[in-house]
Amino acid sequence: MIKCNDNGRMTCVPRSGKPKSKWETSDEAIENAKYINNKYPKKDSKLVAYKCTHCHKYHLTTKKKRIR
């Protein structure tokens, strides 16, 4: 992940070059992750929220599902 300034604001940019979506609270990020996981289900992975150490906002990342 690359951090850069965009119009004076700190943004987090992955390798694809498109700025990551960010949310102010963990509840908003979790709700969006649940929505995307339900709308576009994947067999072996899911989206989860995390707090960024660079911008102190919440982003989504992919995690492998644990098989029980």
Residue 42 lies in a domain: yes
Residue 7 lies in a domain: no
pTM equals: 0.76
What's the confidence (pLDDT) of residue 18? Answer: 82
Residue 3 lies in a domain: no
Close Cβ partners of 65 (under 8 Å, ≥ 6 residues apart): 43, 44, 45, 46
Domain region containing 29: 21-68
What's the confidence (pLDDT) of residue 67? Answer: 76
Residue 59 lies in a domain: yes
List alpha helices for 1-68, DSSP H.
Answer: 26-39
Residue 36 lies in a domain: yes
Residue 27 lies in a domain: yes
Q: pLDDT digit of tens for each residue in the chain (68 aa)?
A: 555 555 555 568 777 878 888 899 999 999 999 999 999 999 999 999 999 888 889 999 999 988 77
Residue 57 lies in a domain: yes
Residue 12 lies in a domain: no
Query: What is the total count of domains within the chain?
Result: 1
